[in-house]
Structure 1
Amino acid sequence: MPGPKDLDPSSSPRALLGAELRHARENAGLSQDALGEALFVSGSFIGQLEAGTRRMQPEIAAKLDEILGTNGFFERNCKAANKSKYPDHFAEAAEAEAVATAIKEYAPLLIPGVLQTEAYAREVFRAYQPTATEDVIDGLVEARLARSHLLDDPTKPLFWAVLDEAVLRRKVGGAGVMAEALGYVAELARRHRIIVQVLPFEAGAHASSNGALRLMAFDDAPPLAYLEVLGTGQLEDNPAAVARYELSYDLVRASAASPQESLALIESVAEDYAHEDRHP
């Protein structure tokens, strides 16, 4: 029987690589758990590779070829599947986000990337990289704006954001930039495309005081959590850890203002910024 053909990088290579992995695993008569045990990873991790929600790293690819007898297929093709326009620490999370059915995010300092306007994103990247060339900043902004296409479908994925009040009050790029940015978030909420809540300062300490949190759910793979700090990020798939983060998000959401109250506050703050911009 002929072996698998090399993948075409132009046709969703990660999804194709995952499909080939499922085919090879089933041909070998192995369950996801059994293959995971041989690789010293969880069965859920194998499921995420097959669903295309996790990256196949070269060392994993080489072991898969050895266990499944696929003659170097996975090692040859994982490089093409891992090509990304995003920074290395965020690439896997961004690509998982693209196939998620639901995204829930707590943002402590900045508007979530998917919801950012061009001007707001440019100010954020310039602050992170003050000496970068304009071409570098342009590329980062372009990649971030491309993520907003996640919201092109009128209903999927479900996007639920809890914004700390600091997100509204932190003047990124000046009053005009903030008026536009918050106005865009409010517009998405008004169109019922996203659900947004604001966690007010008066809520005090809360279950996600340590930082940002993003949760992603999928039709055919276990959920993931993503935690990010300056210059690095961690994608978590351990079921117990993800369950703990889901509880943290639920507690934060319970402490936040209602969606209706939150929308009114966002629009009020946006109007204050717009007035400031008109009358500096």
Structure 2
Amino acid sequence: MTAVDEEAGRLKEEADEPGWEVDPDDEWGVAVITTVGRQLKLRREAVGMRAAEFGRAVGYGEDMIYKIEGGKRIPRQEFLDKADEVLGAGGLLAAAWEDVKKVRYPKKVRALGKLEAKAVEIGLYECNIVAGLLQTPEHARAVIGAAQPPYSPDDVERMVAARLARQAVFERDPAPALSFVLEEGVLRRPIGGKMAWRQQLERLLEVGRLHNVVLQVMPMNCETHSGMDGRIELLKFADGTAVGRSDGAFNGRPTSDPRQLRILELRYGTIRAQALSPRESLTFIEQLLGET
């Protein structure tokens, strides 16, 4: 098999992976992918290539080409780069990735990701899961895949990819201040199996040692716990504004009302005071890891 054949086979395999279907309820996403598909088709026809011929040139099947051109499938960056080269588009098709990548993930997650990308401070208390910003791919896939009724394979992969994309917050410069409080019981539950569990604990230690991150564990033997109403999320921005949300307050809806934010900040601050210190928390996670 030649290198060209191997590359074509790899691209075809990637094209068939779940998680790249267009969400029909995402109007803006549908519009973007439809426009990109239409431009692709026009350029293909302009150079006189049939879909099957073009597919062979980029390593995709004819059916997949029709799906992408018809706005039914989200094109990968590698596909757009290759299509640009084959069709001589001068970089215009490759540049479409800047728009495509914005609609790659579900609408609700995109909105959350935008807020997190702007926040200078993020505080999260999670009571039932490891916070999404801290999850490994294997852990995220196991958590999302365990939902009932179950998601389709496409939806699972889309949600996993969206969750991991939000973790770009750790690469920002200047770095935001991040704090997390996680429940001991959650850290003891081997979601996804022993290996995935170990990888998740290792990831927590890695993140917890970052200079801009404070990671704490709420111990199960804590006699007073102010987080019984559910998760709390607080995001603060450079202009002094903030957004907060809690499962057990204000109907679980995001709020920017100063009085409501003070309540959430009081609850979150109290939870942090009740949890193990950051140093104690990392030691605790190390001990858990040693027990696996």
Question: TM-score normalized by structure 1?
Answer: 0.62
Q: Does 1:108 align with 2:114?
A: no
- The answer for the alignment partner of 2:213 in structure 1 is 194
- CA distance in structure 2 between the partners assigned to 1:92 and 1:129 by the alignment: 24
Q: Does 1:136 align with 2:141?
A: no
Q: Does 1:216 align with 2:235?
A: yes
Question: Which amino acid counterpart does residue 214 of structure 1 have in structure 2?
Answer: E
Give structure 1 regions of 4+ aligned residues with deviation exceeding 4 angstroms. 83-91
Shift of 1:190: 2.3
The correspondence of residues 1-280 of structure 1 with structure 2, limited to 5 A, is 87=106, 91-128=110-147, 131-153=150-172, 156-228=175-247, 234-273=253-292
State how many pairs are aligned: 192
Residues 1:184 and 1:267: Cα distance change in structure 2 (over 3 Å) = same
Shift of 1:126: 0.4
- CA distance in structure 2 between the partners assigned to 1:242 and 1:86 by the alignment: 28
Question: Which amino acid counterpart does residue 169 of structure 2 have in structure 1?
Answer: L
Q: Do the aligned partners of 2:176 and 2:212 also contact (CA within 8 Å) in 1?
A: no
Q: Do the aligned partners of 1:180 and 1:270 also contact (CA within 8 Å) in 2?
A: no
Cα offsets for 1:186-224 (capped at 9, x unmatched)? 011223342101111111342221100011110115111
SS in 2 for 1:236: coil
SS in 2 for 1:105: strand
SS in 1 for 2:227: coil
- The answer for the alignment partner of 2:40 in structure 1 is none
Shift of 1:179: 0.8
Question: TM-score normalized by structure 2?
Answer: 0.60
Question: Which amino acid counterpart does residue 145 of structure 2 have in structure 1?
Answer: R
SS in 1 for 2:157: helix
Q: Do the aligned partners of 1:103 and 1:158 also contact (CA within 8 Å) in 2?
A: yes
Q: Do the aligned partners of 1:105 and 1:213 also contact (CA within 8 Å) in 2?
A: yes
Percent of paired sites with the same residue: 32
Long gaps (5+) in structure 2: 1-27, 29-98
- CA distance in structure 1 between the partners assigned to 2:229 and 2:108 by the alignment: 19
Residues 1:239 and 1:84: Cα distance change in structure 2 (over 3 Å) = farther
Q: Do the aligned partners of 2:105 and 2:161 also contact (CA within 8 Å) in 1?
A: no
Shift of 1:92: 3.3
Q: Do the aligned partners of 1:107 and 1:162 also contact (CA within 8 Å) in 2?
A: yes
Residues 1:155 and 1:264: Cα distance change in structure 2 (over 3 Å) = farther
- CA distance in structure 2 between the partners assigned to 1:269 and 1:168 by the alignment: 8
SS in 1 for 2:254: strand
Which is further off, 211-220 or 160-169? 160-169
Higher relative contact order, chain-length normalized (CA < 8 Å, sep 6+) = 1
Cα offsets for 1:74-132 (capped at 9, x unmatched)? xxxxxx9xx75555555533321121001011111211101100000000110125533
- CA distance in structure 1 between the partners assigned to 2:141 and 2:220 by the alignment: 27
- CA distance in structure 1 between the partners assigned to 2:197 and 2:218 by the alignment: 18
Residues 1:221 and 1:154: Cα distance change in structure 2 (over 3 Å) = closer
- CA distance in structure 1 between the partners assigned to 2:283 and 2:145 by the alignment: 30
